[in-house]
Structure 1
């Protein structure tokens, strides 16, 4: 389960980064902001999983 969540976090980060770059390229502030939000969501998920890993050791 943890591996699946880590993969999901990485995917959210990559998707957010792509969305942010696309938003900047076309001048769409909303898309840029959504991309940043998705990246942040992935960052939080990744930090949570790292915390679980550290606690289980």
Structure 2
């Protein structure tokens, strides 16, 4: 199972799924649709928390 985290574009509201292994500190992620910087939201963090729990406790 690959762990992912969801980001939301504040401009066009589209979602982007990023693999945890591809995320590095300070790297700016951009929306594939409009090019705006993506924002990590509370919902994205909660989804990651659920995925991490399921990954650690199958």
Which of the five TM-score ranges fits, normalised by the shorter chain? Answer: 0.3 to 0.5
Report the TM-score, using the length of structure 2 for normalisation: 0.37
Report the TM-score, using the length of structure 1 for normalisation: 0.38
For the pair shown, the structure with the greater C-alpha radius of gyration is 1
Higher strand proportion (structure 1 or 2): 2
Higher helix proportion (structure 1 or 2): 1
